[in-house]
Amino acid sequence: MKNGVFPGSFDPITSGHMEIIKRGSRLFETLTVAVCNNPEKKSLFSLNDRLEMIKNACRDMKNVRVASFEGLLIDFAEENGIDTVLRGLRNARDFDYEKELADIYYDTGRLESVFLPSRGEYSHISSGMVRELIRGNKDISKYIPK
């Protein structure tokens, strides 16, 4: 069994992310949800808030860890004994983007990638859409974990 990492901005974590984490946690011995802390990218939620929300949402999954990283994912993976990246695919656009990243991870760090296709009911959910709804004061409860 492999140790996996599910990296992302998670600004905020959505039901779509949760579905990938639940399914991914069954594929790996441990799965680390790694929040990318990029000081140059403005986020709606602070790093601490994002970490807290994910920890809460994942607390019943015993092999899921939550961490943050700065810099390159390949360095975080090497430092943490992680050999596989998990990513979710909603559509062909996601695939084109993820394929490029996967090639770079493999070329530079021999880091393997595994893609899980999102299930239909989650395919339209994105953090960006949730942020827009928050700004417009709309109900987001069905798009995010409790």
Rg of the chain, C-alpha, whole Å: 15
Regarding 84 and contact with ligand ADP (CB under 6 A), the answer is no
Do the beta carbons of residue 15 and residue 145 sit within 8 Å? yes
Contact 37, 68 (CB under 8 A): yes
For the bound state, the minimum distance from the C-beta of residue 111 to ligand ADP, rounded and expressed in Å, comes to 14
Whether residue 127 lies in the annotated active site: yes
**What minimum distance in Å lies between the beta carbon of 120 and ligand ADP?**
10
The verdict on 32 binding ligand ADP (CB under 6 A) reads no
Give the separation between CA 105 and CA 124, rounded to whole angstroms: 26
Is residue 90 at the binding interface for ligand ADP, with CB under 6 A as the rule? yes
Catalytic annotation present for 41:
yes
94 forms part of the interface with ligand ADP (CB under 6 A): yes
The residue with its CB nearest to ligand ADP is 16
Report the residue from 32, 43, 84, 127 that binds ligand ADP according to the rule CB under 6 A: 127
Q: Degrees (nearest 5) of the Cα angle 89, 72, 38?
A: 80
The angle at the Cα of 43, spanning 79 to 118, to the nearest 5 degrees, equals: 70
* Number of neighbours of residue 131 by Cβ within 10 angstroms: 16
119 is catalytic: no
Q: Is 87 in the site for ligand ADP (CB under 6 A)?
A: yes
Amino acid identity of residue 39, one-letter, is P
Is 17 tagged catalytic? yes
By CB under 6 A, name the binding residues for ligand ADP: 8-10, 14, 16-17, 20, 87-88, 90, 94, 118, 122, 125-127
Catalytic residue positions, numbered = 17, 41, 90, 127
